[in-house]
């Protein structure tokens, strides 16, 4: 018995094959970065990187709105804010393909029906698992909920750090970018907006 794993490691576990041109692209990038893609530690890296990117970008394979298909009408007259906060997420910036790591707060004011609370996080992940900019991610999540749930109001606040800024470029670790999108009464009514922001902790 040998515990050595080689280039066949992935195939033996029944994972789908990664096309040669995709692996070549990763090898080219390794070379460009200054390393030797044929050294032992990097032999399986091209296929691993390729599969990791499929996973980071799983959102392209779904329509996040589908998570809002199932609503509950029995809300017992509840017509106050529904808020899910501190939802951790990971995305990648479309300018550097570098990680965006952060948390989101998503709130809405129901209009006779609600969704299962975990669905709000699923909508977020559906849009986050793509190449993104934080501004668009924030808007897409808010608009998806607005359009499909037809609530009285939606608020999305996203706070994230961008590896393209913390690990390269100006190299400023700890810096957080905050974006928000308010719709309906959260946008039009100052008291309502203040209430949702304070529930979110802002
Ligand atoms: Zn970037």
Residue list for the binding site for Zn(2+): 93, 96, 164
Domains of the chain (ranges plus CATH)? 16-56 (1.10.286), 63-200 (3.30.1130.10)
Helix, strand or coil, per DSSP, at residue 167 = coil
Model confidence pLDDT, tens digit, residues 11-30: 546 788 999 999 999 999 99
Is the separation of the CB atoms in 52 and 65 below 8 Å? no
Is the separation of the CB atoms in 159 and 101 below 8 Å? no
Average pLDDT over every residue of 152-171 = 93
Model confidence pLDDT, tens digit, residues 51-79: 999 999 999 999 999 999 999 887 777 88
Helix, strand or coil, per DSSP, at residue 99 = strand
d(CA 8, CA 189): 61
CA 41 to ligand 1 center in whole angstroms = 28
Mean pLDDT rounded to a whole number for the chain:
92
Whole-number pLDDT of residue 13? 66
Average pLDDT over every residue of 176-192 = 97
pLDDT band at 170 (very low <50, low <70, confident <90, very high): confident
CA 92 to ligand 1 center in whole angstroms = 8
CA 174 to ligand 1 center in whole angstroms = 15
CA 96 to ligand 1 center in whole angstroms = 4
Angstrom CA distances, 70 to 8, 67, 145, stand at: 43, 7, 13
pLDDT band at 171 (very low <50, low <70, confident <90, very high): confident
């Amino acid at each position: 018995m040998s515990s050595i794993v080689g280039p066949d490691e992935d195939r033996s576990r029944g994972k789908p094959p990664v096309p040669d041109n995709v692996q070549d692209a990763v090898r080219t990038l390794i070379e460009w970065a200054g390393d030797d893609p044929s050294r032992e530690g990097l032999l399986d890296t091209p296929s691993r990187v390729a599969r990791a990117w499929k996973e980071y970008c799983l959102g392209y394979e779904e329509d996040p709105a589908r998570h809002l298909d199932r609503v509950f009408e029995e809300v017992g007259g509840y017509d106050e804010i529904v808020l899910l906060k501190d939802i951790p997420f990971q995305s990648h910036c479309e300018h550097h393909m570098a990680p965006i790591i952060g948390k989101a707060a998503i709130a809405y004011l129901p209009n006779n029906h609600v969704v299962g609370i975990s669905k709000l996080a699923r909508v977020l992940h559906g849009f986050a698992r793509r190449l993104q900019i934080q501004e668009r991610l924030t808007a897409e999540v808010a608009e998806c909920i607005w359009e499909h749930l037809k609530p009285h109001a939606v608020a999305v606040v996203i706070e994230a750090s961008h590896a393209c800024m913390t690990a390269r470029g100006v190299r400023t670790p700890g810096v957080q970018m905050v974006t928000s999108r308010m719709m309906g009464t959260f946008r039009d009514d100052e008291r309502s907006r203040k209430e949702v922001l304070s529930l979110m902790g802002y």
